[in-house]
Amino acid sequence: MLEEVRLHHVRTEGWDAPYTAVHQTLGKDCVTLLAVDYPETTSTLTEGPKENWGVSLDEALAVAVGNLREATQEAFDEIVPGLYVGRWNDGYDTSRVLLPDVLQRAAIKGRPVFMIPTRDILMVTGDKDEEGIRHMVEVSFKAMESGRAVSSQVYTYDDQRIVPFISQDAALLERMASLEHMLLQGNYHAQKEQLDTIHEEQKIDVFVATYKLFELKDSNGKTFSMCSWTETVDTLLPKTDRVALVQIQPDGTAQTQVVEWDELETKLGDLLAPASLYPTRYRTLGFPTAAQLSQLTPLV
């Protein structure tokens, strides 16, 4: 959301116009913002507390969390054994992850493990409930198909601080990676639309590559992401698992070599310049030479 607002600002004011969003980082793909409730609307304060309030963001958020606690009654429903979803339905369900004591009161096995896949869904289970965690991730796939996506990550608490949940379950980690792919695909698609509009209006000749998702055969839904980098085309690449390096031949056909992103970045990182965008994109600086291409391991 913040990046959409920033790119709208770029479109109206230009790339060099200052823009600041005042927030606290909550996870790798979401943040905490301050909001003010009015009788009919809620205003998100991307610029932080009003200057005449005389308080810092931390102070204002402390007051907001206190207000949220006062408005929070018990409202968890068990949707499958051991997995609970918040039913406050007041626009602040996901914000209640800032209240560890509320999640700890759910009848779960162990310490809370939770997800906030969309703006209106908070789910919690216990770290001793492997089946509950697996169910939570699968429900998140369905939620993201129709809701306003927030985070693909699984979280827990460490001394009341929100931290990533670390799993040793290989199958679960694959499903979590696929969920993150799903979130990134939506984010990159929206970003590409905005960048294409900006580039057209500002007459900037750069191709914004598409973030593509593919499912591996016989893998129980495991996915990988890929983008294309074409010789002679100035490109903004999304960060993907794989990259298709494309060379157009004199007869009009294309010669393509698919490689792992990590290897490409390690060996030919000088050809990739990070752009100030979220999700991350890289501006291409030329194209690998034949000698450089020979250093890479092609994927079949």
Q: What is the mean pLDDT of residues 55-70?
A: 96
pLDDT of residue 220: 77
- Residue 33 CA neighbour count, 13 Å, CB half: 17
Is the pLDDT assigned to residue 295 strictly greater than 80? yes
First to last CA, the chain: 37
| Those residues with Cβ within 8 angstroms of residue 15's Cβ, 6 or more apart along the chain or in another chain | none
Question: Radius of gyration of the chain from Cα atoms?
Answer: 22
pLDDT over 90 for what percent of the chain? 92
- Alpha-carbon distance of 300 to 284, in angstroms, equals 24
pLDDT of residue 61: 96
pLDDT tier, 229 (very low <50, low <70, confident <90, very high otherwise): very high
pLDDT of residue 177: 96
pLDDT of residue 273: 98
Is the pLDDT assigned to residue 145 strictly greater than 80? yes
Averaged pLDDT of the chain: 95
- Enumerate the domain spans of the chain: 18-167, 206-293
pLDDT tier, 221 (very low <50, low <70, confident <90, very high otherwise): confident
Q: Phi and psi at residue 129, in whole multiples of 5°?
A: -115, 85
pLDDT of residue 146: 87
Q: What is the mean pLDDT of residues 40-52?
A: 92
pTM over 0.85? The answer is yes
Instruction: Write out the two tokens for 29.
Output: 């793909």
The more confidently predicted of residues 89 and 217 is: 89
pLDDT of residue 216: 86
pLDDT tier, 252 (very low <50, low <70, confident <90, very high otherwise): confident
Is the pLDDT assigned to residue 147 strictly greater than 90? no
